[in-house]
């Protein structure tokens, strides 16, 4: 799923989104080791099996490699591939709803760029 997964998404999708965002921000670069399953589970109060499921999606998609007994490492090109995949998902899944909401509220591009004073 996406780095912008909502709260009613399954936990493994939300965890995946956290890691996607970290890779896209550059917190984890090519060659960097991801946190261990146990570490990430403890950090987010999640079941280690749920974290393992989230990590499995990265392995399945070819963004990480597993080094037995050592951990998971970000592969070269993963950030660029993830960014492209996230852009595609955003434009396909999120943007139509956002665009419709913008139209419903009658917001202009200038309104959105200026923001709203609280």
pLDDT at 104 over 60: yes
Diameter of the chain by CA atoms? 56
Q: Does domain 11-114 have CATH number 1.10.10.10?
A: yes
Helices (H), 1-118: 11-25, 37-44, 48-60, 78-89, 95-105, 109-114
Mean per-residue pLDDT of the chain: 91
Unique residue bearing structure tokens 């309104």 = 111
pLDDT higher at 65 or 113: 65
95 vs 3, more confident: 95
Confidence band for 6, pLDDT divided at 50, 70 and 90? low
Does pTM top 0.85 for this prediction? no
Segments making up each domain of the chain, as ranges:
11-114
- pLDDT bucket at 117, cuts 50 / 70 / 90: low
In the predicted model, is pLDDT for residue 1 greater than 90?
no
DSSP letter string, 42-60: HHHT--HHHHHHHHHHHHH
């Amino acid at each position: 799923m996406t780095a912008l997964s909502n709260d009613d998404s399954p936990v493994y999708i939300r965890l995946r989104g956290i890691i996607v965002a970290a890779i896209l921000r550059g917190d984890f670069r090519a060659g960097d080791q991801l946190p261990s399953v146990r570490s990430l589970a403890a950090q987010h109060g999640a079941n280690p099996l749920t974290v393992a499921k989230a990590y499995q999606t990265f392995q399945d998609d070819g963004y990480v490699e597993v080094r037995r007994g050592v951990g998971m490492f970000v592969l070269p090109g993963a950030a660029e591939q993830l960014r492209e995949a996230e852009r595609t998902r955003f434009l396909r899944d999120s943007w139509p709803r956002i665009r419709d909401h913008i139209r419903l509220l009658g917001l202009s591009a200038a309104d959105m760029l200026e923001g709203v004073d609280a």
